[in-house]
Amino acid sequence: MEADLKGDPVKGKQLFSAGCKRCHGLPEAGQFTRSRWEAVLPGMIRNAGLDGQEAADIREYINTNLIKN
């Protein structure tokens, strides 16, 4: 289960930068609120075919670097 996995923000950044830009531009830090990320991430993770660890890594990267305060 993804919630039990510890995400690695360094790996998450690599996955995010390489994978997410295949379908759309990369968002800037602070572009989206936490609630917006929580709404869109499940669909993007599913569409990208990420496994649980990859999803945890991307979530950790987003939570530590991209969340709008």
Structure tokens at 33: 């609120």
What total number of domains does the chain contain? 1
pTM: 0.84
Kindly report which listed range (6-10, 17-21, 61-65) carries the lowest average pLDDT score.
17-21
Concatenated DSSP letters of 7-41: P-HHHHHHHHHHHGGGTSPPPPTTSB-HHHHHHHH
pLDDT confidence of residue 65: 87
Rounded CA-CA distance 61/13 in Å is 6
Percent of the chain residues past pLDDT 70, beyond the cut: 93
Full domain range(s) for residue 13: 2-65
Please determine, for residue 32, whether its predicted confidence score (pLDDT) is greater than 90: no
Rounded CA-CA distance 18/54 in Å is 12
pLDDT confidence of residue 2: 57
Burial class (CB in 10 A: 0-12, 13-18, 19+), 2: middle
What is the average pLDDT across 23-52?
Answer: 88
